[in-house]
Amino acid sequence: MDSPIDIARDLTAVFSLLAVMIFLVINTLRQTLDRMQAEGIERLRAEQALRAEEERFRKIFDLSPVAINVTSLKDGRLLEANEAYWQLTGFDPKTAIGRTTIELTIWDTEEQRQDFVRRLSAYKSLHNPNYEFVNVAGEKHITIAFYELIDSGNEPCILSMFYDITDQKQAQIARQRSDEHFRKVFHVSPVAIVITTLT
């Protein structure tokens, strides 16, 4: 049998070794927890920044004077639109969201829509500087139309933007008519008219 001193020495060595191992385990756990906490804080900051960015985008989307909508590429289903879009089209958001562009009569036929989808898929972006938009009341609006192929989640979508230039076009037409009227009056007038510059 070992003497009590040998047993005490062995137990002291075992306890010392256990104490060192416990210290190492606790230290490793503390470092792991600190690292996890730092990663959690970083992840939380990233999520907050992402939420802030999404909120900024949402405000820009909702308040934009440009009519914007998002439709699915696959079937043309209207997924989202802003207030300017509802005003331009006259659609009711409660009944229009979830319907296809064929059901909303934006396209006359599915073949027309598929031709557009093929062109957009090939070029990724399309622009029409003189797109005539007829709303549900039958009113015609001249718009500058932009289309972008985007990813929304796992689904390819079409981002459509329409800038209404009807007032500018009408003003341009009125000015052209006025110019034509002036030219006709100028050329057929029996009175001599001279235009000079002031210098």
Q: Report the pLDDT value the prediction gives residue 8, as an integer from 0 to 100.
A: 72
The continuous run of DSSP H or E covering 120 comes out as: helix 110-123
| Res 162: pLDDT | 94
The residue type of 177 is: R
Report pLDDT for 193.
Answer: 65
| H/E stretch holding 84 | helix 83-89
Q: For the segment 10-64, what is each residue's pLDDT rounded down to a tens digit?
A: 778 888 888 888 888 888 888 888 888 888 888 888 888 888 887 887 787 888 9
- What pLDDT band is residue 77 in, cutting at 50, 70 and 90? very high
Q: What's the predicted TM-score (pTM) here?
A: 0.64
Q: Nearest to residue 62, comparing CAs of 42, 82, 78?
A: 82
How many whole angstroms from its chain centre is CA 161? 10
Write the pLDDT tens digit of every residue in 117-172. Answer: 999 999 999 999 989 888 889 899 999 999 999 987 778 999 999 999 888 877 77
Q: Which residues pair with 12 in a beta bridge?
A: none
pLDDT category, 192, cuts 50, 70, 90? Answer: low
More confident residue, 150 or 190: 150
Check residue 172 and give its pLDDT: 75
